[in-house]
Amino acid sequence: MGESESLSTRHASAERLLLIHPEGPCRDLLVAAAQREGFAVAVAGAMTAAIERLRHEPAFAMVAVSTAVVPAGRWEGDSPDAVSAVRTLSRQAGRAQLVVLAAHALDVRTSCELVRCGVSGFVDGRQEQWDHDAFIRQLRAAQMRYRTTRPATEALHTLGPAERNSMVCQSPIMEDLMHRAARAAQVSDVPILIYGESGTGKQLLAEMIHQLDPKRSRKRLLSVNCSAIAGSLAESTLFGHVRGAYTGAATSRKGMFRAAEGGTVLLDEIGEMELALQPKLLRVLQEHVVMPVGADEEESCDVRVIAATNRPLAVLVERGQFRLDLYQRLNVITLEIPPLRERREDIPELVGFFTKKYAGYYERPIESVDPRVIDYFTQARLDGNVRELENTIRQMLAFKAAGTRLELSDIPTSLLNRERRSNRDGAAALADLVDAASQLLDEGTMTLPELVSEYERLVLHCTLQRSNATSTDLAKRLGLSRRTLYNKIRKYQLSDHDREL
């Protein structure tokens, strides 16, 4: 095969893979394997040819590059090293998912640098270690990552029914989150910490990460709410126990970490975990071992830990309610799901998604949604986020007696009344604030600049305490530059934790 397209006509509409690999029998085998799985394959024998092809043909979904085209850590003289070459390739590849076929062992530092450059998956490409199934799994995972980074309406059509959930998105902030989550899924042994208010979809995001994990997706995902268990029950649930460990322990129990061997454990509401249990979880993360209650010896366990919380763990550490060493172990990859009020452009898509879901569930012949319903939810105060929106639409369809259109009159009266009260309360609160400020000015207690400054300090302090966002994201949310935010934090002498944001 030459440096050209190796497309069969029956795959002409398939998603395209660019394979960068030296000519030879090994490349021919890779092309044949990918084509058998339904991929349309194009080939290039060198980085220069691949980059030129990507420049003129951007419509590739995946790019698989063998390190054999970047020998001895360098590439054709004028590029300083392999990492730089891959970085250039990644920039030219755009949204295409980049997979590296390691023709020789890569050290940890190089692997990490490649991930930073945009690589989302690795396959052992050494002949003596070659695993055909691993290659195909990485291509499938890359295909799913590519699909999940498309606009939400397109992704709904391409994802299979088992892969769909309410992580529907149209907003740039959510599309970026989906892309980062898909990238994080590829680093199978690294903990992930998910922040988000109640009802934003933390468990759904964890499930998506597990589905995209090429190493663990075929194993189990087990989840536990740390706020729902305590004491010996929590220890036994997580780490297991041996027979006779305590009164009533008539049989042994594996515990969640050993039951999920090879898979993923989701620790929801990790901020509520008792301090006494945290050292044991630290052992799982550090040494990959568990000590069942009543056992004499530790047992090995191979799981990925995903932790989720709606509380700022850094603040809990400062208060002595969460171990610093455990926080540092968990805080490797952090994903924050924005509340629905910060991504209102997703609401029309979510309304359509839930309407279709529950119309089928309740066998309602709904064909359309009144635009006023969408307008209402787009403006409504949904403190329960996506969960509240879903439950409301479910209630609307459950009680809808007739008609093929979801109407404004189907919205529960309790929600309409709450919105009216909220609007009145907001206006009343603003009026109270103005009255208090006027009184302080009349009394001469504070000047107007002092009032504005104090109010800004309070708002900034509360926002920092409640948010786990990075300083860049937080500044954008506040309508400030990052430097301006930092200067205000210094000006108002906020806490050390605040300054670190």
Count CB atoms within 10 A of the CB of residue 224: 17
Instruction: Name all domains of the chain by residue range, CATH numbers in brackets.
Output: 5-148 (3.40.50.2300), 187-338 (3.40.50.300), 341-411 (1.10.8.60), 446-500 (1.10.10)
139-143: long-range contacts, CB 8 A cutoff, minimum separation 24: 139/17, 139/34, 139/37, 139/39, 139/62, 139/64, 139/99, 140/37, 140/214, 141/185, 141/186, 141/212, 141/213, 141/214, 141/217, 142/61, 142/62, 142/97, 142/99, 143/15, 143/39, 143/61, 143/62, 143/97
Which one has a higher pLDDT value, 428 or 139? 139
- Say what the pLDDT of residue 200 is: 92
Cα angle 128-131-136, degrees, rounded to a multiple of 5: 150
Contact 370, 411 (CB under 8 A): no
Q: Determine contact, residues 172/186, Cβ cutoff 8 Å.
A: no
Return the pLDDT at 127. 58
Task: Report the DSSP pairing between strands 221-225 and 299-300.
Answer: unpaired
CB 290 within 8 A of CB 284: yes
Reply yes or no on whether the pLDDT at 245 is more than 90: no
**Three-class secondary structure of residue 293 per DSSP:** strand
Confidence bin at 165 (pLDDT 50/70/90): low
pTM over 0.85: no
Dump pLDDT digits (tens) for 313-340: 988 998 899 999 999 999 989 999 999 9
| Contact criterion met (CB below 8 Å) for 245 and 251 | no
Indicate the average pLDDT of the chain: 79
Residue among 111, 176, 501, 148 nearest 337 (CA) = 176
The pLDDT value given to residue 149: 55
Per residue in 109-135, pLDDT tens?
777 777 777 787 888 766 555 667 778
How is residue 34 written in tokens? 């990918």
Is the pLDDT at 34 greater than 60? The verdict is: yes
Q: Return the exposure string of 6-44: e unless at least 16 CB atoms fall within 10 Å of the residue's CB, then b.
A: beeeebeebbbbbbbbeeeebbeebbebbbeeebbbbbb
Tell me how far CA of residue 153 lies from CA of 61, 109, 164, 358, in angstroms: 18, 38, 12, 18
List, for residues 462-482, the tens digit of each pLDDT value: 777 666 666 666 777 777 777
Q: Is the pLDDT of residue 492 over 70?
A: yes
Q: Residue 1: what pLDDT?
A: 41
Angle among Cα 172, 176, 178 to the nearest 5 degrees reads 120
* Full strand arrangement of the beta sheet holding 40-44: 5-6, 40-44, 16-20, 62-66, 97-102, 119-124
CA-CA distance, 224 to 268, in Å (whole number)? 6
Parallel, antiparallel or unpaired: strands 304-309 and 5-6: unpaired
Report helix angle 172-185 to 132-148, nearest 10. Answer: 170
Q: For the chain, what percentages of helix, strand and coil (3-state, to nearest 5) are there?
A: 55, 15, 30
- The DSSP symbol for 322 reads S
Beta-carbon contacts of residue 32 (< 8 Å; ≥ 6 apart): none
